[in-house]
Structure 1
Amino acid sequence: MSQALCEDCSMSNLFTTVCAMTFQGNASNGLQQDAFFFVDDYYQEVLGITPVHRCDGAFCVAVSDGVSQSDFSQVASLTTMKAVKQLWQTYLDNPNQSAVMDILKIYNKVATLPKRYYGASATFALVYRTFAKDNQSNSSVVIKHMGDSRVYHFSAMTKTWRCITRDHNLLNQLVDEQAAAENRQADFGEYNQDGMASPMYALTDCLIADSDLDSNPMPAYESQTLAVSSGDCLVVCTDGVYDLVPCCEWQAIDETTDLQNWLKQLRKQIYASEGRAYDNATTILVRFESQ
């Protein structure tokens, strides 16, 4: 863990323990198109589970999933995570800056890849917490995502998992259009429905390599701030996880749970599922604990 991540330990009442898992699975193209950023570096591995890290102050984790229908999507996902690392290091070097994890800068890194990579596409989801200021406790995190990489929240109070990000796909776009026609705001429970025809899950927004900004405008992304409590957990993951094992089948977590073992169990569930790990899968598990 870098020294910068521990400089303001006393300024936050919650610390985090984090662990990540990735595997290529039985992807038909034989590629690992997932990449992830974990604490202070990016990775794109065929198989691996990281050591468990403790972060007392600021932290950042992220995943990116290359869109399999595009060539060189593994380049797009890795470029996305390289951009996340650069932005996070810039923040650590200057924690007083107002713009943290600027998505436009991530978009520009992917959009301006060399022409041979044009069309390469990727989704992402990231979670970060900045250093606390003025001796205030820092009990919230920022979540940003684009496409269908997701973030899930485990409540220590209800002992249940729930998805807290809305996929950027045709299905959810139609949900919004229907709600607008009825002069109302869509309920979050209407999003991310299962069991629909595959064309309904076509992405409406993702990062695409193509520097012609007229034909490749900045895609939509979403940002939210989430208050967390001791015992709460987050999962940041690619669709190779939740497509095969819905969150209602994930194990609960408490302060005694071994995070590596939890991830290993999830991997077993993915391989034992009806889909038999047909896609790459990457999961980052974050647990919040009292100092």
Structure 2
Amino acid sequence: MTRLSTTICAMTFQGNASNGLQQDAFFFVDDYYQEALGITPVHRYDDAFCVAVSDGVSQSDFSQVASLKAMKTVKQLWQTYLDNPNQSAVMDISKIYEKVATLPKRYYGASATLALVYRTFAKDNQSNSSVVIKHIGDSRVYYFSANTKTWRCITRDHNLLNQLIDEKAGNENRQVDFSKYNQEGMASPLYALTDCLIADSDLENNPMPAYDSQTLAVSSGDCLVVCTDGVHDLVPCEEWQSIDKHTDLQAWLKQLRKQIYASEGRAYDNATAILVRFDER
């Protein structure tokens, strides 16, 4: 039976955002944050854990309020699970949606994305070698395989481009090759989000946004990055450093930050990344 520990570290910074706001928020282990700049201490957990990021959609006013509310709700849901690990519904996306949708009227239209990863407590005589990934919008989760030594995106952005790819495949009665999603270098309107968390108390006429959920089996040496678009839009994962059991996670994130500032985009957006490494106990 494989038992895996997790080593976790997070980085966030405001960057050169033209609006002068930090619209990213994140949940790290046991609390939520919305900071102009910071790299967290490294934490290690042998069993259950949860991390999440939320990116306020810059085209909407008060989007930093929507992203922070999403992360506050993640904290509440995770604490509820820790208090009662036998509950069947863990990290219910509909509850996060409801909390953002019912923000006070002055925040109507504020929008945010969401990507979260969690692992529940292992049952008796069971391994803890799988995690659950849920996301809405264009915040992403990347996977590093200890076998192939490569990074790859494992989430599909909820945007117009990917919707059109799905529609074309449906019309041709075929499955989409996942590598066709999240294409780069397309016309900017194609990246418009089709689903995100939006403040609007009319829940009947503002239906639950589409979100994706998957369970991923992980092995010792595998890693995940949960990040906002201020990371992946400027530094594609092919340019990220490799990683192993000896890698200093803070140093890895500092190097990623340097790459973002040195990129063609010069850190024009807020950026948040949470790095998770799995190691055999």
Structural mapping, 1:1-80, within 5 Å? 13-80=3-70
Identity %: 86
In the alignment, structure 1 residue 198 sits paired with structure 2 residue 215: no
Task: Measure, in 1, the Cα distance between the counterparts of 2:47 and 2:208.
Answer: 32
Give, as a single letter, the amino acid of the residue that structure 1 aligns with 2:132. Answer: V
Give, as a single letter, the amino acid of the residue that structure 2 aligns with 1:21. Answer: M
Cα distance, 1:12 vs. partner?
A: 6.7
Query: Per the alignment, in what secondary structure is the counterpart of residue 224 of structure 1?
Result: strand
The match for 1:214 is 204
Which of 232, 239, 243 is matched with 2:229 structurally? 239
Cα distance, 1:200 vs. partner?
A: 0.2
In the alignment, structure 1 residue 274 sits paired with structure 2 residue 274: no
In the alignment, structure 1 residue 178 sits paired with structure 2 residue 163: no
Task: Measure, in 1, the Cα distance between the counterparts of 2:208 and 2:222.
Answer: 33
Q: Could you tell me whether the CA contact under 8 Å between 2:63 and 2:111 is conserved in 1?
A: yes
The match for 2:177 is 187
Give, as a single letter, the amino acid of the residue that structure 2 aligns with 1:159. Answer: K
Q: Could you tell me the TM-score, scaled by structure 2's length?
A: 0.99
Cα distance, 1:134 vs. partner?
A: 1.9
Task: Measure, in 1, the Cα distance between the counterparts of 2:59 and 2:204.
Answer: 22
Q: How many residues align?
A: 281
Task: Measure, in 2, the Cα distance between the counterparts of 1:214 and 1:200.
Answer: 28
Cα distance, 1:216 vs. partner?
A: 1.3
> Where do 4+ consecutive residues of structure 1 move more than 4 Å?
none
Query: Per the alignment, in what secondary structure is the counterpart of residue 268 of structure 1?
Result: helix
Unpaired runs of 5+ in structure 1? Answer: 1-10
The match for 2:126 is 136
The match for 2:275 is 285
Q: CA RMSD of the aligned region, Å?
A: 0.8
Q: Could you tell me the TM-score, scaled by structure 1's length?
A: 0.96
In the alignment, structure 1 residue 263 sits paired with structure 2 residue 253: yes
Give, as a single letter, the amino acid of the residue that structure 1 aligns with 2:56. Answer: G
Task: Measure, in 1, the Cα distance between the counterparts of 2:234 and 2:208.
Answer: 31
Cα distance, 1:23 vs. partner?
A: 0.1
Task: Measure, in 2, the Cα distance between the counterparts of 1:148 and 1:233.
Answer: 20
In the alignment, structure 1 residue 125 sits paired with structure 2 residue 115: yes
The match for 1:110 is 100
Q: Could you tell me whether the CA contact under 8 Å between 2:2 and 2:280 is conserved in 1?
A: no
Unpaired runs of 5+ in structure 2? Answer: none
The match for 1:8 is none
In the alignment, structure 1 residue 147 sits paired with structure 2 residue 142: no
